[in-house]
Amino acid sequence: MFESLSQRLSSTVQRLRGRGRLTEDNIREALREVRVALLEADVALPVVQALVERIKVRAIGQEVLKSLTPGQALIKVVRDELTKLMGSAADELNLNVPAPAVILMAGLQGAGKTTTVGKLAKLLKERRKKKVMVVSCDVYRPAAIKQLETLAQQVDVLFFPSSTGQAPVDIAKAAVSEARKQFVDVLLVDTAGRLAIDPAMMDEIKKLHAGLDPVETLFVVDSMTGQDAATTARAFADALPLTGVVLTKTDGDARGGAALSVRYVTGRPIKFIGTAEKMDGLDVFHPDRVASRILDMGDVLSLVEEVERKVDKDKAAKLAEKVVKGKKFDLNDMHDQLEQMLNMGGLTTLLDKLPGIGAIPEKLKSQVNDKEIHRSIAIIRSMTKKERRHPTLLNGSRRARIARGSGTSPADVNKLMKQYQQMEKMMSKMSGGGLKGMMRGMKG
Ligand code: GDP
């Protein structure tokens, strides 16, 4: 998300970064560029005006001009104001009510509502250790009910069945009493979406809201629709007491106009963003981290959290132990490491969160892909157990066999072996005295 906005904004502010002196003229010119960048990112006009005005007031004041490092101070002001625009701190779900906490999901058809219900169920179950049930009140599309059932199975949460002959309010109420019986912590209610907001849809969702009294009412909207996302959310917020917005498909949105407009236009926080089609593609929305990302200061915090969550700690501990004890790093270890990288979303996802990445040309970035990792894993899997443990066995004919088995070329196998040798060398340098010495050094 934000690639193009980030490129423009960060180059504008970075240009001022190193300056020892800034004048009002420099700042005004930079702000003009900021304004154009925001408009091109499809941020709603009133939002652009408000944001640029707030930055201007602070930038032309004492804070920046009198600062010893005015460029840095300006970047800080832009970062602060971007953060504030999106809501300052992350807004968590409110689940502090007698169980079951009901979460009502609304949105237009195709926005990603049902997918988000599945993702949210998974997140609540795995990260917040909640017992979750889902139900669909989309009585117009049997396929939607079926889709939710499939997702519920996939993420392994309870599914309350419903059918097209029933009234949405009746389905929802029956689900609540079943959830209560089964000691469910959170009930997620999926609703029908239409192609555009219409009175019948509004009426139905209002009735559902009144009948359920949900603790959270989330509006799901496609970020690729830019500032329209904010306008649609606004129409819903006018009719229903929304507690938050979920922005989907941010992985396909290079501009970021929706993320920057929603809070200002609707007065409601963005609580989550959808970052991929798959079920773990949902992140808590952290305005401060997103602002840093837009200014290309990286999102190292999210990266660290992701690594903590996704790394297989047992395997990592085993490898560390091996290294410390000076045991040989073999191709099984390399295989595990490559798999861990894929688990973390692959190189492309990791890269996206590192500082300074915006400065790397798009063309170069697109060359970094995960094909290579997949290829390396396939090669190692075509080896016998013995070969993986004793890589020195791999002579020419064995390598040719492995290339055939993995659908690669002998050159690919040779390349992998070279990478392995480099890793092995690095590991053996760290092992024994090296790493222990390093650890002693850290403790001392
Ligand atoms: P609904 O009609 O609002 O329930 O929409 P669906 O949940 O059926 O989603 C519509 C399409 O958007 C599906 O193909 C989803 O896989 C896709 N989708 C949903 N969220 C995301 C996301 O965050 N990223 C991507 N890339 N696709 C998504």
Task: Give, for ligand 1, the residue of 277, 279, 280, 284 to mutate: max count of ligand atoms closer than 8 Å to Cβ.
Answer: 277
Indicate if 384 and 311 belong to the same structural domain.
yes
Residue 73, amino acid: A
Indicate if 316 and 180 belong to the same structural domain.
no
Indicate if 63 and 32 belong to the same structural domain.
yes
CA distances 224 to 64, 106, 151, Å, are 35, 17, 23
> How large is the greatest C-alpha to C-alpha distance in the chain, in angstroms?
73
24 C-beta neighbours (distance < 10 Å), count: 11
Indicate if 259 and 309 belong to the same structural domain.
no
| Within a domain: 300 | no
Indicate if 130 and 256 belong to the same structural domain.
yes
What is the ipTM for the molecules in this complex?
A: 0.98
Q: Which domain-ending residue is among 294, 313, 345? A: 294
Structural domain that includes position 59: 3-86
- Report yes or no: 230 and 216 within 8 Å, Cβ to Cβ: no
Task: Give, for ligand 1, the residue of 115, 220, 270 to mutate: max count of ligand atoms closer than 8 Å to Cβ.
Answer: 115
Q: Which domain-ending residue is among 243, 272, 294? A: 294
Kindly give the distance from the C-alpha atom of residue 282 to the centroid of ligand 1, in angstroms, as a whole number: 12
Report the pocket of ligand 1 as residue ranges, CB < 6 Å: 107, 109-115, 193, 248-249, 251-252, 274-277, 281
Kindly give the distance from the C-alpha atom of residue 226 to the centroid of ligand 1, in angstroms, as a whole number: 16
First and final C-alpha spacing in the chain = 43
CATH number for the domain harbouring residue 322: 1.10.260.30
Kindly give the distance from the C-alpha atom of residue 231 to the centroid of ligand 1, in angstroms, as a whole number: 20
Kindly give the distance from the C-alpha atom of residue 254 to the centroid of ligand 1, in angstroms, as a whole number: 17
Residue labelled with tokens 């934000």: 2
Indicate if 111 and 227 belong to the same structural domain.
yes
Indicate if 240 and 136 belong to the same structural domain.
yes
Q: Quote the number of domains for the chain.
A: 3
Reading the block at residue 9, the tokens are 């904004």
Q: In whole angstroms, what separates CA 215 from the centre of its chain?
A: 24
| Within a domain: 287 | yes
Indicate if 249 and 130 belong to the same structural domain.
yes
Kindly give the distance from the C-alpha atom of residue 142 to the centroid of ligand 1, in angstroms, as a whole number: 17
Indicate if 253 and 329 belong to the same structural domain.
no
Q: Report pLDDT for 442.
A: 42
Q: Report pLDDT for 367.
A: 58
Q: Which domain-ending residue is among 294, 313, 338? A: 294
Indicate if 120 and 233 belong to the same structural domain.
yes
| Within a domain: 384 | yes
Indicate if 24 and 82 belong to the same structural domain.
yes
Atom from ligand 1 closest to the CA of residue 118 = 7
CATH number for the domain harbouring residue 64: 1.20.120.140
Atom from ligand 1 closest to the CA of residue 190 = 4
| pLDDT tens over the chain, length 444 residues | 677 777 777 777 777 766 666 778 878 888 888 888 888 888 889 999 999 999 888 887 766 666 666 777 777 788 888 899 998 777 788 888 888 999 999 998 889 999 999 999 999 999 999 999 999 999 888 888 999 999 999 999 999 999 888 889 999 999 999 999 999 999 999 998 877 778 888 888 899 999 999 999 999 999 998 888 888 888 889 889 999 999 999 888 877 888 889 888 888 999 999 999 999 999 999 998 888 877 766 555 565 666 666 666 677 777 777 766 777 888 998 888 888 777 776 666 666 666 555 555 665 555 566 788 889 999 999 999 999 999 999 999 999 999 999 999 999 999 999 989 888 887 777 665 454 444 444 433
| Within a domain: 91 | no
Indicate if 242 and 122 belong to the same structural domain.
yes
| Within a domain: 93 | no
Q: Report pLDDT for 440.
A: 46
Q: Report pLDDT for 404.
A: 93
